[in-house]
């Protein structure tokens, strides 16, 4: 069956697609590297004609044109499910707002809670069977398309064909309109440069990983350098099951360390829900049956993830306090990133047979006025507790490793102070005393 006539009938200009938006609408953009470009520009040109239009994206690369066209928010309000560096800058100028989310719940939110008038999905070219591929951003986009009143496909020719999995594409029968996208390359997100402290902590994390482990890496320099260390290690038969697939996964798979042979399911394939990195990862994913793109309620579902033996989740944090509470998404009231899948995987890893939930962070971070401790008496006022203390298992810094599960408050305080920078420990001890979680005898 040929779908060429249906394609022609649904094909319109970007201006005509933007004209579908009405005052008061909620317009949802596709996610991460696949954020729409041409539609965003066309909608921005309509700013003076519209009122109270809410636009929702996920880690839009750069500054959305609808924001640049309306810096007073007289016409558009931009919202983001996760945040990226540009969103952080916009947030500080009151031009972007965060939507709290447990990532594995995203499809259910679209089914039950979220108004979706228009969904604009950047996709690859239609295949002979009428399917458009979501490329490296499966996420929850099929759920958004089902919830939306109107669906627009923005077709770009240079999108990698990412195999499933499930829900890795959308059929032309589910699309209302089609517009032409750009030939511009996907966003390039190189691995952040690790510090010597990051590398020291990563080496300690490597000691916790066992042969046959199934690896999830979070976002940031620390998890990425852990992946690079794994790729150069003598570990055997690792598997991949991760929310975000980054360049380090290419290194792990190409080195042979990660072959997915011992996984309980998805054997032979690394499962993921979105990918961001450089062309290295996009080229690797194109038509590669060794990777499987799934909707997020499969990959991040605790029921799915914990069914793997030795699930090892490796994630970063902004700071952790002496109770073991973890802030991974803000610095005080400054929104840095979202909850994402950290809660999903930390919970799942501990409940996996032989699994390990690992938080790795340097003992200090660079602040505006010099180094700032990451291990603190209490979370910075206004900071978001991403992980309650009850969920935290392993904490790793360049100074050591601590397992907080089953530990009393004084044991946690002692262990975490031992992971802090030496110059911060005396003040932490005094603070722990004031908080009644430090034994004067300091005996173990």
Confidence at residue 319, expressed as pLDDT on a 0 to 100 scale? 97
> Which pLDDT tens digit goes with each residue over 65-104?
999 999 999 999 999 999 989 999 999 999 999 999 999 9
Q: Looking at residue 82, what DSSP letter applies?
A: S
Count Cα neighbours of 155 within 13 Å in the Cβ-side half-sphere: 20
Protein fold of 196-434: Glutaconate Coenzyme A-transferase (3.40.1080)
Q: What is the average pLDDT across 139-163?
A: 98
Structure tokens at 73: 């928010």
Confidence band, pLDDT 50/70/90 cuts, at residue 443 = low
Cis bond upstream, residue 272 (ω within 30): no
Q: Are 240 and 213 in contact (CB under 8 A)?
A: no
- Domain limits of the chain? 4-180, 196-434
In this predicted structure, the answer to whether residue 192 has a pLDDT above a threshold of 50 is yes
In this predicted structure, the answer to whether residue 424 has a pLDDT above a threshold of 70 is yes
| Averaged pLDDT of the chain | 96
In CATH, the architecture of 4-180 is 3-Layer(aba) Sandwich (3.40)
> Which of 106, 29, 60, 134 is CA-nearest to residue 344?
106
> Which of 76, 120, 73, 79 is CA-nearest to residue 99?
79
User: What is the percent of the chain where pLDDT is above 70?
Assistant: 99
Confidence at residue 81, expressed as pLDDT on a 0 to 100 scale? 97
> Which pLDDT tens digit goes with each residue over 335-382?
999 999 999 999 999 999 999 999 999 999 987 788 999 999 999 999
Look at the alpha carbons of 138, 144, 146, 149 in this order and tell me if their dihedral is positive or negative: negative
Confidence at residue 89, expressed as pLDDT on a 0 to 100 scale? 93
As annotated, the active-site residues are: 243
In this predicted structure, the answer to whether residue 25 has a pLDDT above a threshold of 60 is yes
Q: What is the average pLDDT across 432-444?
A: 84
User: What is the percent of the chain where pLDDT is above 90?
Assistant: 93
Strand ranges in 266-307 using DSSP code E only, listed in sequence order: 270-272, 274-275, 291-293
Q: Do domains 4-180 and 196-434 have the same CATH topology?
A: yes
Q: Are strands 311-315 and 291-293 parallel, antiparallel or unpaired?
A: unpaired
Q: What is the average pLDDT across 30-38?
A: 97
**Residue recorded with tokens 């990451």:** 374
Q: Are strands 76-80 and 53-57 parallel, antiparallel or unpaired?
A: parallel
Rg (CA), the chain: 23
Confidence band, pLDDT 50/70/90 cuts, at residue 323 = very high
Confidence band, pLDDT 50/70/90 cuts, at residue 221 = confident
In this predicted structure, the answer to whether residue 444 has a pLDDT above a threshold of 60 is no
> Which pLDDT tens digit goes with each residue over 35-49?
999 999 999 999 999
Q: Are 253 and 263 in contact (CB under 8 A)?
A: no
């Amino acid at each position: 069956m040929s779908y060429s006539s249906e394609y022609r009938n649904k094909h319109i200009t970007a201006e005509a697609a933007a004209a579908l938006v009405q005052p008061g609408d909620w317009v949802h953009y596709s996610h991460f590297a696949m954020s729409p470009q041409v539609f965003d520009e066309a909608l921005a040109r309509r700013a003076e004609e519209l009122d109270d239009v809410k636009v929702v994206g996920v880690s839009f690369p750069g500054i959305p044109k609808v924001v640049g066209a309306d810096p007073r928010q007289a016409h558009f309000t931009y919202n983001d499910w996760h945040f990226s560096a540009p969103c952080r800058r916009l947030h500080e100028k009151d031009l972007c707002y965060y939507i709290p989310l447990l990532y594995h719940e995203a499809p259910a939110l679209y089914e039950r809670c979220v108004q979706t008038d228009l969904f604009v999905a950047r996709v690859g070219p239609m295949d002979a069977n009428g399917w458009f591929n979501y490329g490296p951003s499966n996420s929850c986009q099929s759920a958004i398309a089902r919830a939306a009143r109107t669906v627009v496909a923005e077709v770009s020719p240079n999108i990698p064909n990412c195999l499933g999995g499930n829900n890795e594409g959308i059929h032309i029968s589910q699309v209302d309109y089609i517009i032409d996208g750009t030939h511009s390359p996907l966003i390039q997100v190189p691995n952040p440069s690790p510090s010597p402290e990051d590398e020291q902590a990563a080496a300690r994390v490597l000691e916790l990983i066992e042969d046959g482990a199934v690896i999830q890496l979070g976002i940031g320099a620390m998890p990425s350098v852990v992946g690079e260390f794994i790729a150069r290690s003598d570990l055997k038969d690792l598997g991949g099951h991760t929310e975000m697939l980054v360049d380090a996964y290419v290194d792990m798979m190409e080195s042979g360390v990660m072959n997915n042979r011992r996984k309980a399911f998805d054997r032979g394939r690394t499962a993921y829900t979105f990918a961001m990195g450089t062309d290295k990862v996009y080229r690797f994913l194109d038509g590669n049956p060794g990777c499987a793109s799934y909707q997020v309620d499969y990959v991040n579902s605790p029921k799915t993830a914990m069914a793997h033996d030795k699930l090892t989740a490796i994630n970063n944090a902004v700071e952790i306090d002496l109770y073991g509470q973890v802030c991974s998404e803000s610095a005080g009231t400054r929104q840095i990133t979202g909850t994402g899948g950290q809660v999903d995987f930390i919970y799942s890893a501990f409940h996996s047979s032989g699994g390990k939930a690992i938080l790795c962070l340097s003992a200090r971070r660079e602040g505006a006025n010099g180094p700032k401790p990451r291990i603190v008496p209490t979370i910075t006022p206004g900071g978001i507790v991403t992980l309650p203390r009850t969920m935290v298992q392993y904490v790793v810094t360049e100074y050591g490793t601590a397992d907080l599960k089953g530990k009393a408050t004084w044991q946690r305080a002692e262990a975490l102070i031992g992971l802090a920078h030496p110059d911060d420990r005396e003040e932490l001890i005094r603070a722990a005393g004031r908080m009644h979680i430090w034994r004067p005898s300091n005996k173990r």
